[in-house]
A = this chain, B = another copy of it.
Amino acid sequence: MEPFSANRSVREIKVVQRVLKVNERMAEQNRRRFAEKGVFAINVMSSPGSGKTTTLQKTLERIMPEIRAAVIVGDVSTTHDADRLAVTGAPVVQVNTDAFGGDCHLAAHVIEKAADDIDLDDIDLLIIENVGNLVCPAEFDIGEDARVVVLSVTEGEDKPVKYPAMFRRCDAALLNKIDLLPHLDYNKALAIGYIQQVHPGMPVFEISARTGEGMEAWIGWLREKIGSKLKAQSQ
């Protein structure tokens, strides 16, 4: 089987590289479009069940209407997350990847189409909640200004070293569900150490989306990022 496997791999890798190259070009188009409209775009990624949606819901409740936000939500199937986020009053567009083969990530051309359904002149912040997956979304630039990874204290300490590409590419990490720490055998220092090992200096915000603990620090960081972009553009 050896030569066959080897051939297959090379062919497969070439196709993947071509797809990534096309994606990069379209991501740049998205980025220019968001810049022209004065929109800060953030790509939020995590494994399934880390609490992304609750975190974003609680974030929107705290920043709106001062910051005008919209959300694009990616899921393989269902509109559950979009329904939950729509409660905040933010415009929400749900992308279901099972419409195009059950993709395990959002790609730049998907964001381009989804953004057509949002009035970009009317918002400051576009939150993109990616498909729950710690592997594939890390490879696809979608034109965002910042990337955030959410991990929860129920997932074990070693996710950063097991999924290093994700943690290397992100600009901040949210360590969620800290209200559960008393009930877990979880070594928080070890987890944060792993994050710093993979991505030295990356800010880590310890939060509980459920209780609200730690949310202000994370939102402060987000506000500052949005502010810096808008300031840079107005100069």
Contact = CB atoms under 8 A, between A and B. Distances in A.
Interface in A71-117: 75-78, 80, 98, 100-102, 104, 109, 112
A202 to B, nearest CB: 17
A104 B135 contact: yes
Contacts of A177: 154
A235 interface: no
A78 B135 contact: no
Interface of A: 1, 5, 8-9, 12-13, 15-16, 19, 22, 26, 47-51, 75-78, 80, 98, 100-102, 104, 109, 112, 131-136, 139, 151-152, 154-156, 158-159, 161-165, 177, 180, 183-185, 210
A49 B77 CA distance: 21
A80 B154 contact: no
Nearest to A26: B1
Contacts of A134: 48, 132-133
Contacts of A109: 1, 5, 8
B1 A162 contact: no
B49 A164 contact: no
A46 to B, nearest CB: 9
